Amino acid sequence: MNTYGTALSRHRDPGVMPMPPRHHAQGGTLLLVEDSHVASDAVRLMFRGAGARLRRVDSVRAARRHLDLYTPDAVIVDIGLPDGSGLDLIAMLDRRRPRVGLIVATSGQPDLDDAALNAGADHFLPKPIASVAQFRGLLAPVFFNLRQQGRVCPPKDHDPAALRDDVYMACDLLQGAGGDAQRAYALQFIEALGHSLGDAAIVSAVMLARETGRVTDLALMLRNRLRGLPLI
């Protein structure tokens, strides 16, 4: 089992010869499959200076549409997505030929590390991403500019607009009528958001909601968080 802040790498069968990644001093594309605006904004800031394009989609379906049109040089896949599991998308990317040069799985649930690596990810990166250097080090074999950069400070504050979007989305998910599947996804999304914010109260409220099946207190807590956010 992984712990927050520690990335794990895949140990491949020595008989398997993966496609070598292309090295880009300039250019190249990173596809980010991530439903959280807060997490996406953090990746955008940490990827800045790579001299490459960052494209973001928020669902399995949207990722598949992109992949029908082009092959990115690296992909970061959140495992918990609104329309399915990122593990299925990772397995598809691993089978794809030519294979994507680098596949990184990420999740706010560190116990999914083995599942991600078994599905075909090259690395597992738990959320919140604790180290900018670690993040950039994973991508540097593909985006060489990241290796050449000096010390990069981690983003200290979350973008208020991104945070507001995520909290609104969390409230909508809890109030929706999508059944057990939507409820499970909502709790997973909110738990990951709580970890990203370092908000232990939200994480505890999610755990209580799972145990009791009641989300009223969690929904009230999220609405209070919204009221405390600055107006955009």
Place of tokens 């089978």: 95
Find residue 24's DSSP bridge partners: 143
Cite the DSSP H helix spans in 70-123.
86-95, 113-119
CA–CA separation, 31 and 226 (whole Å):
30
Average pLDDT over residues 56-60: 97
Residues of the chain with CATH 3.40.50.2300: 8-148
What pLDDT does residue 150 have?
47
- Rounded CA separation 27/46 (Å): 17
Q: What is the pLDDT of residues 21-34, one digit of tens each?
A: 555 545 689 999 99
Packing angle, helices 200-212 and 216-228, rounded to 10 = 160
Q: What CATH fold (topology level) applies to the domain 8-148?
A: Rossmann fold (3.40.50)
Distance CA 19, CA 35 (A): 28
Which pairing describes strands 102-107 and 123-126: parallel, antiparallel, or unpaired? parallel
Query: Would you say residue 112 has pLDDT above 50?
Result: yes
pLDDT tens, 127-168?
888 788 889 999 999 998 887 554 555 555 678 889 999 999
